[in-house]
Structures are given as structure tokens and as C-alpha cells.
């Protein structure tokens, strides 16, 4: 038999968990029915899982993105990785890290070497790109030239992994690359955008040589805050000629 003090302790614990729900989208204090989940919690989980799967398999509408960029006066160049299909991209990650031969030829045409190249890649969530990339680009494309830096045409990449920006930056001889890419969908957010910045991009770079700004979406970091952080990193990278852990070692506040 459960005494009154035990019931009071249980109610206090439940109340403390319930209060935490106001501060996180994590699935906590969802209750139970016997040994299972309540129907609402189970259906919410299934819906979130379906949204994540749909985001992974959805194709980026490249033509719509290109039109939106052209309407803003931005020049864009469309490229593809060697992943010949979405299933191949998902099964063979390395194919998303290398440019197709046609794309290599397109980016090898004579061009003045830029200071910064911005790549927009579909990644693992094209929905994240369609919803969140343009607001961040608005600020980046406006403020990077204000810093006295030459900006390359925006590279619109499909079948892209983060490292695809390394080869793109190397071909264009850019000092720094910024890639906006759809992050792996989770059960809390299927439309989260990531931003990765690399000083002196070239093939063979590893993740410790980059800086990442993550969780850019309506319920996470705003596009405005993400762009402001990216611009701060651009200045620091060019000043210290480094990115990733090497930059953190030189700029203590990044550690």
C-alpha cells in the first residue's frame, strides 16, 4: 500500500518534470499507459519520424531556389556531386564530397579569385534549405562586400555533403568557404540548417579544421543571429589565417 508521503513525493517529481517541458522540445514527462506510451505521445512520435524521413528523401527544388536568388540580384552557379541519385547519395556518403566532372569544368572556367565563396547545399534536409537559407543569405550577401571582400557567385549544389565546399573553394581559389546545408533531421526538428566555415578550403580538409553554426530554424537559432556569428568568424579567420581548432587556439573566446 502506498502511503500519503510516497504519493506526495511522486506528485512533486511529476510536477518538476512537467515544468521542464516548458524549456525543451525533448520528449520528457509524456506519461505512460501501463508499460506503453499514451496514444497522443505515440502518434506525435510517429508523425515526427515521418517528417524526418520525408526531409531526408525530398529533392531540393533547384529551379525555384535559382529564381529566388536571381530575383534578389544574386548570380548563382548550379553544380552537382558525383552522387547520381538521392539513394546513392544516402548510401554512399563519399559521393557527396566530390564534384561531378561537368561541375568541375564549369567552376574551372576563368574567374577572378574571390575572398569568400558561399555554397548552398541540399545536404540531408532540402526542406531546411528551402525554409532557412535565403534569410541567412540576405545578410551574408549584403555584409560580406561591406567588409571589402570579393564574393564569388553563389554555388547551388545538389547531392552535397559539407566537404563538397572544400573542392569548390579550391577550384575557385577562394580564401574562405561558407556552406549552408541541411542538417540530419531529428525528431524535434526536420528543417534545421547548418553553416560550416573553412579557411583556405581544399580537398582533404577534416571537420576539426572547420567552424560550425548549427540548429538554424524557426524554433532554434534565427537566421539573423547565425549570419552575425558567421560574419564575425569570417573576420577572425581572415585575420588569423585559420579556422576550426587552430582558430580556437588563437582566439580564446572561441574555445
Task: For residue range 48-86, list pLDDT tens digits in order.
Answer: 889 989 889 999 999 999 999 999 999 999 999 999 999
The answer to whether position 25 is within a domain reads no
The answer to whether position 78 is within a domain reads yes
Give the count of beta carbons closer than 10 Å to the beta carbon of residue 23. 8
Q: Is the pLDDT of residue 175 over 70?
A: yes
The answer to whether position 120 is within a domain reads yes
Which range of residues forms the domain containing residue 205? Answer: 61-254
Q: What percent of the chain has pLDDT over 70?
A: 93
The answer to whether position 36 is within a domain reads no
pTM over 0.85: yes
The answer to whether position 118 is within a domain reads yes
pLDDT band at 8 (very low <50, low <70, confident <90, very high): low
**Biggest CA-to-CA distance, the chain:** 83
* Residues 6+ positions from 69 with CB-CB distance below 8 Å: 75, 76, 134, 137, 154, 156
Per the structure, the count of domains in the chain is 1
What's the CA gap between 228 and 191, in Å, rounded? 20
User: Which grid coordinates are listed for 132?
Assistant: 532557412
What's the CA gap between 161 and 157, in Å, rounded? 9
What's the CA gap between 39 and 43, in Å, rounded? 6
DSSP string, 96-114: GGSB-HHHHHHHTS--PPP
- The residue-averaged pLDDT of 96-118 equals 94
Q: Is the pLDDT of residue 35 over 70?
A: yes
The answer to whether position 208 is within a domain reads yes
The answer to whether position 237 is within a domain reads yes
Question: CATH code at 123?
Answer: 3.40.50.11240
The answer to whether position 215 is within a domain reads yes
Mean pLDDT score of the chain = 90
pLDDT band at 226 (very low <50, low <70, confident <90, very high): very high
pLDDT band at 11 (very low <50, low <70, confident <90, very high): low
User: Which grid coordinates are listed for 106?
Assistant: 564549369
Amino acid at each position: 500500500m502506498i502511503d500519503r508521503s510516497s504519493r506526495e513525493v511522486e506528485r512533486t517529481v511529476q510536477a518538476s518534470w512537467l515544468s521542464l517541458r516548458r524549456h525543451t522540445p525533448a520528449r520528457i514527462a509524456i506519461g505512460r499507459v501501463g508499460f506503453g506510451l499514451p496514444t497522443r505521445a505515440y502518434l506525435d512520435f510517429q508523425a515526427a519520424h515521418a517528417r524526418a524521413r520525408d526531409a531526408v528523401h525530398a529533392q531540393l527544388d533547384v529551379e525555384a531556389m535559382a529564381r529566388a536568388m536571381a530575383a534578389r540580384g544574386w548570380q548563382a552557379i548550379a553544380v552537382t556531386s558525383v552522387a547520381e541519385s538521392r539513394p546513392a547519395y544516402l548510401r554512399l556518403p563519399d559521393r557527396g564530397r566530390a564534384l561531378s566532372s561537368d561541375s568541375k569544368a564549369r567552376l574551372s572556367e576563368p574567374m577572378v579569385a574571390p575572398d569568400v565563396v558561399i555554397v548552398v547545399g541540399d545536404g540531408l534536409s532540402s526542406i531546411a534549405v528551402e525554409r532557412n537559407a535565403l534569410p541567412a543569405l540576405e545578410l551574408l550577401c549584403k555584409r560580406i562586400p561591406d567588409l571589402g571582400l570579393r564574393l564569388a557567385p553563389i554555388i547551388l549544389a545538389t547531392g552535397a555533403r559539407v566537404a563538397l565546399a572544400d573542392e569548390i573553394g579550391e577550384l575557385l581559389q577562394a580564401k574562405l568557404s561558407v556552406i549552408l546545408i541541411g542538417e540530419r533531421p531529428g525528431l524535434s526538428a526536420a528543417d534545421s540548417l547548418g553553416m560550416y566555415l573553412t579557411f583556405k578550403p581544399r580537398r582533404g580538409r577534416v571537420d576539426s579544421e572547420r567552424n560550425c553554426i548549427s540548429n538554424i530554424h524557426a524554433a532554434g537559432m534565427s537566421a539573423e543571429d547565425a549570419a552575425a556569428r558567421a560574419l564575425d568568424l569570417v573576420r577572425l579567420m581572415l585575420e588569423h589565417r585559420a579556422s576550426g581548432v587552430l582558430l580556437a587556439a588563437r582566439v580564446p573566446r572561441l574555445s
